[in-house]
Chains A and B, each alone.
Chain A
Amino acid sequence: MFEYAPAPESRDIVDIRPSYGLFINGEWVDSLGDERDKTVNPASEEVLAEFTLASEADVDRAVSAARKAYESVWGQLPGRERAKYLFRIARIIQERSRELAVLESLDNGKPIRESRDVDLPLVAAHFFYYAGWADKLEHAGLGADPRALGVAAQVIPWNFPLLMLAWKIAPALACGNTVVLKPAETTPLTALAFAEICRQADLPPGVVNIVTGAGATGQALVGHPDVDKVAFTGSTEVGRMIARSVAGTRKKVTLELGGKAANIVFDDAALDQAVEGIVNGIFFNQGHVCCAGSRLLVQESIETELLDALKRRLSTLRLGDPLDKNTDIGAINSAAQLAKIRSLTEAGEQEGAERWSPSCPIPDKGYWFPPTLFTGVAQSHRIAREEIFGPVLSVLTFRTPAEAVEKANNSPYGLSAGVWTEKGSRILWMADKLRAGVVWANTFNRFDPTSPFGGYKESGYGREGGRHGLEAYLDV
């Protein structure tokens, strides 16, 4: 037997302060209130740092700083000057990518292989990409002289903390807006490190403000009257609240919400690569992915063969220390999320689906959930309808392409879908019929800053990424 010895990435490279204030107007400031919270390493439950729960008054300070910066500096700068700052930020991120990857894995629980090979390269790529647009906005097909909106309030989730920050901040700044961003309360550390990067890049004060906090801070931020734009990525439930709170105001909104993507495998698919795609679709980032391929629709003629291959493959997944370079499955981000995954999987069993997990040792401390497969799932089961946001795959079968489309679309969500077939014409036909913002063909969970991303139906509205992503931050 060939046992891989532990190969942990050193955490000495990161410098976590015991306690963090708020980043407002280019300075670290203390809260006007006195509420604080702790962020823990989900793999060990060790406290990493204390951070501030920003009060309404703090949010007000941040929004005023952003407004002032917009009016006096950033809104006046020509695009090519804004681009210089963005290119600089992108380069600093690349230079500090190892440190940021370790920090992300510590705070979020995701494997270092993913933070190092997926998150950080994409973060830098987003800044590079939108830096390139900053002086070319009049050629974006959005009018002759598109204008910035003003102050953007941005609330991001915990699943890709730094990447979601990049998706929000890069296009906002490229288009000439200033921002107040609130990271998730379980993963504030990389956003706080990004604040330092803004200083390192000499970004004018107030252009980027980071206020940490939980739901109340987010509410104060999106509800602030002086905000021109609200961008949110997170649950559909919170998305609805935000939509309600901004209804009837001048605020422009983009929402990127939940998903329950169908990953559809036809009998002529490249089987081994389809198995990889299924694994990457649902077990990437412990399934904490809004576009995760959480419903596997497999053509009935290859069900047994595919499931055998899938189970064999799942048995090779390595769950454990997120900082170990050989880890495939890291920790669940929080106790609350773990409880949610547990309750939904229990519901799956109660509703009569058959549960399977590979034998895989679970560490004693921290929040963990083994890769899990449900077979015999019906469309009506909760595990086939609700977003689990964990490493849990529901397997359903279909007979005809039309049935596959019907099942795939029979969901209130519509964020993404995957199609696996060697037949090109069928890919095009499926892509045309699937009501999903992203349709991957013979791959899954592939991202690129040039490609727009966003949902149909209750998965949200607006697009992020690509040329389309500019529209959300311009007055067009």
Chain B
Amino acid sequence: MSTLTPSFAGVASSNATLRAFLQGLPGVDRVGADQRAAMLATRSIKTTAKAQAIDLAISMVDLTTLEGADTAGKVRAMCAKAVQPDPGDPSVPKVAAVCVYPDMVAGAVQAVGRSGVRVASVATAFPSGRSSLDVKVTDTAFAVAAGADEIDMVIDRGAFLSGDYRKVFEEIVAIKAACAREGGPSGNGTAKSGNGAAKKGSPAKGDAHLKVILETGELATYDNVRRASWLAMLAGADFIKTSTGKVSPAATLPVTLVMLEAVRDFRAQTGRMVGVKPAGGIRTTKDAVKYLVLVNETAGPDWLDPEWFRLGASSVLNDLLMQRQKMATGRYAGPDYFTLD
């Protein structure tokens, strides 16, 4: 399966053509990109614009817990918070999604119910991506079968950095196929048996959306970030995501800038819109607002929507809630007034 538009039909036919295409993309000048991101970070978002930005940011959060120590209870608690971030104030929007490990998907699907909060699952031997394609596909299929609406896969950075773009491309295509559901637009029934119990939570779901994690902290250059973005989009990614959150640096403004330029250019050339998700290291309202400004002035306002832009984070939500309350009441409540999960 491939979602390539006709203009890029031959690009992925071999590693040589893919390589020629990706290395032929315009370069990124690091100094210039850093400078542009720093300039946009000086935008001053106040009063009504700030209120609007806070609500938009809350609605874009992928509330995440990805720890070995995660428990079913912790996931349930997080889901409750995702659906209603501030129980004392029903005007607070729900977040976009919760993001969990595959074995927590079924519980999360149940917990969010029909609230509209999506369930995203990391897959493909997250976070390192070091396993066989079979294992990655099975990992994905398991999460999809359990009812995940979105799959956050990691690319094989080793293959990418060694120049084996075709391998990365094929893996994304394979995972995309595993995101399909029976009855979905291009479902091919990859779901394995044995997940029946989880399946019943998602009777009417379409294909899971695929977010491709580039792990930009390991890609070393902005040129590579641009190439990996295009590679993922060519292979059918619905979203491109900066980081797993397990590698430092995680999301940065300039890296997100480069990715936003990529989705902007990709739409101009193919007509298809791809979402962007910076993840990791976004902790404060100020950080979140900087990302919104970046989206607004790079890809444009079309992307200022939870369908097309997400913030992968967890701690930022409480700061957003605190700032929201401060704007409404003029006073800061202490951190104890906001639940930790």
Measured CB to CB, the residues of A under 8 A from B are 1-7, 113, 117, 268-273, 276-277, 316, 325-326, 422, 442-443
| CB 8 Å contact bits of B253-271 with A (1 = contact, 0 = none) | 0000000010000000000
Contact (Cβ within 8 A) A2 B292: yes
Task: Give the docked Cα–Cα distance between A325 and B39 (Å).
Answer: 11
> Which of B21-29, B164-172, B178-186, B210-218 binds A?
B21-29
Contact (Cβ within 8 A) A4 B28: no
Chain B residues with CB below 8 A from A271, complex form = 26
Q: Lowest 6 A-B CB distances belong to which pairs? A: A273-B32, A7-B44, A325-B44, A270-B29, A273-B29, A5-B49
Q: Does B45 contact A (CB under 8 A)?
A: yes
Q: Is the interface of B mostly helix, strand, loop or mixed?
A: helix
Which chain A residue shows the least CB distance to B53? Answer: A2
| Contact pick for B301, options A2, A7, A269, CB 8 Å | A2
Contact (Cβ within 8 A) B42 A4: no
Task: Give the docked Cα–Cα distance between A273 and B304 (Å).
Answer: 23
Q: How far is the CB of B36 from chain A (nearest CB, A)?
A: 5
Task: Give the docked Cα–Cα distance between A277 and B35 (Å).
Answer: 10
Pull 29 A–B residue pairs with CB atoms less than 8 Å apart, ordered by A. Answer: A2-B52, A2-B53, A2-B293, A4-B43, A4-B45, A5-B45, A5-B47, A6-B46, A7-B45, A7-B46, A268-B26, A269-B26, A270-B26, A270-B27, A271-B26, A272-B26, A272-B28, A272-B36, A273-B31, A276-B32, A276-B35, A316-B297, A325-B42, A325-B43, A422-B27, A422-B29, A442-B31, A442-B32, A443-B31
Contact (Cβ within 8 A) A272 B261: yes
Q: Does B296 contact A (CB under 8 A)?
A: yes
Which chain B residue shows the least CB distance to A272? Answer: B261
Measured CB to CB, the residues of B under 8 A from A are 26-29, 31-33, 35-36, 42-50, 52-53, 56, 261, 292-293, 296-297, 301, 304
Q: How far is the CB of B165 from chain A (nearest CB, A)?
A: 20
> Given A113-B42, A272-B33, A325-B42, does the pair A5, B28 have CB atoms closer than 8 Å?
no
Contact (Cβ within 8 A) A273 B36: yes
Q: How far is the CB of A268 from chain B (nearest CB, A)?
A: 8
Task: Give the docked Cα–Cα distance between A269 and B48 (Å).
Answer: 40
Q: How far is the CB of A136 from chain B (nearest CB, A)?
A: 30
Task: Give the docked Cα–Cα distance between A7 and B48 (Å).
Answer: 11
Chain B residues with CB below 8 A from A273, complex form = 28-29, 31-33, 36
Q: How far is the CB of A239 from chain B (nearest CB, A)?
A: 32
Chain A residues with CB below 8 A from B28, complex form = 270, 272-273
Chain B residues with CB below 8 A from A270, complex form = 26-29, 32
Chain A residues with CB below 8 A from B53, complex form = 2
Task: Give the docked Cα–Cα distance between A326 and B47 (Å).
Answer: 14
Task: Give the docked Cα–Cα distance between A4 and B293 (Å).
Answer: 9
Contact (Cβ within 8 A) A326 B292: no
Q: How far is the CB of A369 from chain B (nearest CB, A)?
A: 22
| Contact pick for B36, options A3, A5, A276, A442, CB 8 Å | A276
Chain B residues with CB below 8 A from A326, complex form = 43-44
Chain A residues with CB below 8 A from B31, complex form = 273, 442-443
**11 further A-B pairs in the complex, CB-CB below 8 A; given A273-B32, A442-B29:** A4-B49, A5-B45, A5-B46, A6-B46, A7-B45, A269-B26, A270-B27, A276-B36, A325-B42, A325-B43, A443-B31
| Contact pick for B32, options A4, A268, A443, CB 8 Å | A443
Task: Give the docked Cα–Cα distance between A305 and B56 (Å).
Answer: 33
Q: How far is the CB of A280 from chain B (nearest CB, A)?
A: 9
Task: Give the docked Cα–Cα distance between A389 and B32 (Å).
Answer: 25
Which chain B residue shows the least CB distance to A277? Answer: B32
Which chain B residue shows the least CB distance to A113? Answer: B42
Q: How far is the CB of A211 from chain B (nearest CB, A)?
A: 36
Task: Give the docked Cα–Cα distance between A104 and B37 (Å).
Answer: 25
Which chain A residue shows the least CB distance to B268? Answer: A308
Q: How far is the CB of A7 from chain B (nearest CB, A)?
A: 4
Contact (Cβ within 8 A) B301 A1: yes
Contact (Cβ within 8 A) A2 B46: no
Which chain B residue shows the least CB distance to A442? Answer: B29
Q: With a 10 A CB-CB cut-off, give which of B46, B53, B261 has the most chain A CB atoms.
A: B46
Contact (Cβ within 8 A) A2 B26: no
Task: Give the docked Cα–Cα distance between A2 and B60 (Å).
Answer: 14
Q: With a 10 A CB-CB cut-off, give which of B26, B31, B52 has the most chain A CB atoms.
A: B26
Q: How far is the CB of A457 from chain B (nearest CB, A)?
A: 29
Chain B residues with CB below 8 A from A6, complex form = 46
Which chain A residue shows the least CB distance to B26? Answer: A271
Which chain A residue shows the least CB distance to B49? Answer: A5
Which chain A residue shows the least CB distance to B33? Answer: A273
Contact (Cβ within 8 A) A5 B50: yes
Task: Give the docked Cα–Cα distance between A149 and B244 (Å).
Answer: 64
Task: Give the docked Cα–Cα distance between A6 and B50 (Å).
Answer: 11
Task: Give the docked Cα–Cα distance between A4 and B48 (Å).
Answer: 8
